[in-house]
Amino acid sequence: MTLVSTAALLDAQRAVLAFNVVQLEHGEAILRGAELAGRGVILQVSENAAKYHGGLAPIGLASLELAREAGTATAVHLDHAEDETLVEEAVRLGFTSVMFDAATLPDEENRERTAVVARTAQAQGVWVEAELGAIGGKGGAHTPGVRTDPGEAVAFVAGTGVDGLAVAVGSSHAMTSRSATLDFGLIRELAAAVPVPLVLHGSSGVSDEDLVRAVDAGMRKINISTHINGVFTRAVRERLDADPSLVDPRKYLGPARDAVAAEVARLLTLVA
Ligand code: G3H
Ligand code: ZN
């Protein structure tokens, strides 16, 4: 049994990488990579991934089971939930943490709704992340110009009681080039002012070197999705191009899973 609480994992490591599980092979690859690197890791399932699978339970329970059987400390997190009932379901299923994302709402409504979610989930021992500053790219448009104000972040954490805060510091979701320009001064300022772990979203757009610098500056949870999807899909495409007669999915999903495992191990070692 190596399912651990998200809080314990964050306490045990300087930084924790959180990778998105889109399908079963992602979860298997991420955990194989974590075992290779000898590092704890977070499997996260987004509201969008749950929708894709017709509900949270199938992919969520698979992720929880993989985590229980993993050879390394693993937490399971609900990512970017905009719907409170999905948060409640994740808590019921046994997720160790949730992100309630009301960042696109007016700040006051974000604060009020997040505070309720935090109280309810924390009462069940679940770690709660929220977002302030609407990190770009969620709707497909990259808006890396958005920034989280440190004073507002401190007030938001005090007003909601959240355990972790996603902040806008220059990254943007779903970038396929690793060319984001992070504001390291702001990360340091936020890390010094905000009393809970900071979360970097849209980390696929961040270069290796800047991921290390972001952790050095104080980022604690690093969310990566698009980058490993790229690794996965390139490997599938390569196999199918190499052998157009393939029909057994295991023959192309297997190599893709291996490629993601290797990249996850490399990234975990990079920020260790
Ligand atoms: O919440 C998930 C992450 O922020 C992933 O973003 O796909 O740009 O790496 P990404
Ligand atoms: Zn995100």
Domain ranges of the chain: 6-270
Class of the CATH domain delimited by 6-270: alpha beta
Give me ligand 1 centre to Cα 242, in Å: 30
Atom of ligand 1 nearest to the CA of 171: 8
ipTM computed for the complex:
0.99
Ligand nearest to the CA of 202: 1
Ligand 1, CB within 6 Å, residue ranges: 20, 79-80, 173-175, 201-205, 223-227
pLDDT of residue 172: 93
How many helices, marked H, and strands, marked E, lie in the chain?
11, 8
pLDDT band for 140, please (50, 70, 90 cuts).
Answer: very low
Give me ligand 1 centre to Cα 80, in Å: 10
Full 3-state SS string of 30-86:
HHHHHHHHCCCEEEEEEHHHHHHCCCHHHHHHHHHHHHHHCCCCEEEEEEEECCHHH
Task: Tell me the per-residue pLDDT of 34-59, one tens digit each, with 9 for 90 and over.
Answer: 999 999 999 999 999 999 999 999 99
Q: How far apart are CA 98 and CA 117, in angstroms?
A: 9
Give me ligand 1 centre to Cα 144, in Å: 13
Ligand nearest to the CA of 137: 1
Strand partners, 17: 222
* Angle formed at CA 204 by CA 200 and CA 209, multiple of 5 degrees: 80
pLDDT of residue 142: 44
Task: Tell me the per-residue pLDDT of 79-120, one tens digit each, with 9 for 90 and over.
Answer: 999 999 999 999 999 999 999 999 888 889 999 999 999 999
Cβ of 112: how many Cβ atoms within 10 Å? 14
Which whole number is the average pLDDT over 172-197? 97
Give me ligand 2 centre to Cα 80, in Å: 6
Task: Tell me the per-residue pLDDT of 66-79, one tens digit each, with 9 for 90 and over.
Answer: 999 999 999 999 99
Q: How far apart are CA 99 and CA 77, in angstroms?
A: 7
Atom of ligand 1 nearest to the CA of 20: 2
Catalytic annotation, residues: 79
Quick one: tokens of 167? 């902040």
pLDDT of residue 143: 61
Phi, psi of 198 (to 5 degrees): -95, 145
pLDDT of residue 133: 75
Atom of ligand 1 nearest to the CA of 172: 8
* Angle formed at CA 25 by CA 21 and CA 30, multiple of 5 degrees: 60
Which of 48, 173, 231 to mutate to test ligand 1, by most ligand atoms within 8 A of the CB atom? 173
How high is the mean pLDDT of the chain?
95
DSSP helix/strand/coil, 210: helix
pTM greater than 0.95? yes
